Amino acid sequence: MAGYAVEIDDVTVRFRSKKRDVTALTDVTMRVEPGEFVSIVGPSGCGKSTLLKLSSGLLPASTGDVRLFGEPVNGPRKDIGYVFQKAALLEWRSARKNILLQAEMRKMPAKEAAARADELIEMTGLSGFEDALPHELSGGMQQRVALCRALLHRPPVLLMDEPFGALDALTREQMNVELRRIWQETGTTVLLVTHSIAEAVYLSDQVVMISARPGTVAGVVDVNLPVERDYGPTMAEPEFAKATRHIRDHLGAAAAAE
């Protein structure tokens, strides 16, 4: 029962607005093993982000079950880390204090939190920028701060909602390489929503494809690439080409146009 890190079982999500009812997700079933890196790709508005909100308990399922480590999710969960597309940093706090917000809210022991923050700052290459205010940091640096904040409490599950969507292409590639390394170092389960098929394949063990609204699982692709993935060489691997092509064909023109 407690075998999966994230379990989404036959879930439907409907939003009710004044004018109409919208079914965002229907009959979605997916499972994520502990320690796995799973990406979710699909056209805009297919409910990818909704899947993350479900897993974190920020949004209830209309029907069906969501479980984290076998435990039903009802209400916001504390045992996750969340990264949004926007870094969502507090403007008045330095990078370090933004990271430590996580510890303050959770009332973690100060020493332990400080040590962990130092470790993450080092790991993400933020050293030297600890005291900078968010507006003094580049987009990539801001996102690194958000990532550190999400990892501070060593969450068993990390949820990332298009974390690199607002970055330029080069920074994005660099962040991909770093995220892959950080995932290997922390061993946490990652659920990543992305628009980029290349990003999904490079980073993941498994890519879940969601169809256009109402979103449902259109297929799952296992990525058979080695654990050690150099960026350039990985891109040139036949398996990489095969996986990206498969996903692109599956999602059709809608995703290709993105």
User: Is 67 a binder of another protein (CB under 8 A)?
Assistant: no
Q: According to the binding rule CB under 8 A, does residue 238 interact with another protein? A: no
Burial (0-12, 13-18, 19+ Cβ within 10 Å), 185: exposed
Q: Which of 18, 135, 236, 257 binds another protein (CB under 8 A)?
A: 135
Q: Least separation, in Å, of the C-beta of 31 and another protein?
A: 21
Dist CA 22 CA 35 (whole Å)? 33
Nearer to another protein, 32 or 89 (CB): 89
Longest Cα–Cα distance in the chain: 52
Please count the residues of this chain forming the interface with another protein, following the rule CB under 8 A.
Answer: 36
Compute the least distance from the CB of residue 244 to another protein, in Å.
21
Q: Kindly tell me which residue out of 22, 174, 213, 242 binds another protein, with binding defined by CB under 8 A.
A: 174
Q: In this complex, which beta carbon is closest to another protein, that of residue 15 or of residue 29?
A: 15
For residue 64, give both structure tokens: 């069906």
30: amino acid identity, one letter: M
Q: Does 181 bind another protein (CB under 8 A)?
A: yes
Closest CA to 145 of 77, 200, 90, 104: 90
Q: Which of 67, 77, 96, 172 binds another protein (CB under 8 A)?
A: 77
Phi, psi of 122, rounded to the nearest 5 degrees: -65, -45
Residue among 9, 63, 106, 220 that touches another protein (CB under 8 A): 106
Phi-psi region of 247 (alpha: psi -120 to 50; beta: other; left: phi over 0): alpha
Burial class (CB in 10 A: 0-12, 13-18, 19+), 186: middle
Q: Which of 24, 61, 68, 82 binds another protein (CB under 8 A)?
A: 82
Q: Is 111 in the site for another protein (CB under 8 A)?
A: no
Angle at 177 between CA 175 and CA 179, to 5 degrees: 65
And the tokens for 119? 């470790």
User: Judged by CB under 8 A, which stretch of 85-93, 191-199, 207-215, 218-226 contacts another protein?
Assistant: 85-93
Q: Which residue has the tokens 């390489």?
A: 177
Site residues for another protein per CB under 8 A: 53, 56, 58, 76-78, 80-82, 84, 86, 88, 90-92, 101-102, 104-106, 125, 127-129, 133, 135, 174, 177-178, 180-181, 184, 228-231
